[in-house]
Amino acid sequence: MQATSLSEDIESPLIRVQRSFARQGMMQNLGARLVRVESGLCVVSLPYSGKVTQQQGSFHGGAIGALADIAAGYAGLTQAPAGMEVTAVEYKINFLAAFEGGELRATGRVVRAGKRVIVTSSEVMHIGPDGQERACALMQQTLMPVPKIY
């Protein structure tokens, strides 16, 4: 019997991102979760825990950067050609304020999707235990489509 498995072409942005996300050891380790995926947009959250702190007990800049990086990267992936992955060429991040407790939420967006380069941005908000949202970081990133090798 001929199996017709799910082809790349009909893969939704959500499924495409979920499959890649599940393979990221570091995101599992830190406790990050996919919140929302649409074409050109991806939201990822990271609850506060002892696994993501710096020396003063706030969220570690490295955790904030990693979260912003993957939200922007997956936003880019939703607009990469079928069968392609994206890889980060570089990014730049500004830290706006430090936070302890609650959770971080990074929203990645495609700024411009070209054939050779995809430019994205990522906005990281902190959501306090009381639901209050405050700006935490802002990233600008360059991605490059590359062949998917797994």
Footprint on this chain of its own copies (rule: CB under 8 A): 20-21, 23-27, 29-30, 49-57, 60-63, 65-67, 69-70, 73, 85, 87-98, 111-112, 116-117, 119, 121, 135, 138, 140, 142, 144, 149-150
Query: Nearest distance from residue 20's CB to its own copies, in Å?
Result: 4
Query: Nearest distance from residue 79's CB to its own copies, in Å?
Result: 15
Calpha distance 126→99 (Å, rounded) = 7
Query: Nearest distance from residue 34's CB to its own copies, in Å?
Result: 13
For its own copies, give the closer residue by CB, 50 or 129.
50
Calpha distance 116→9 (Å, rounded) = 20
Cα dihedral 48/49/55/60 (nearest 10):
-50
For its own copies, give the closer residue by CB, 65 or 127.
65
CA geometry: angle 94, 88, 63, nearest 5 deg: 45
Query: Nearest distance from residue 97's CB to its own copies, in Å?
Result: 8
Q: Assign 41 to helix, strand or coil.
A: strand
For its own copies, give the closer residue by CB, 39 or 134.
134
For its own copies, give the closer residue by CB, 1 or 138.
138
State the first-to-last Cα distance of the chain, in angstroms, to the nearest integer: 25
Query: Nearest distance from residue 23's CB to its own copies, in Å?
Result: 4
Q: Name, in order, each residue with C-beta under 8 angstroms of 4's C-beta and a sequence gap of 6 or more.
A: none
For its own copies, give the closer residue by CB, 21 or 45.
21
Q: How is residue 8 annotated by DSSP?
A: G
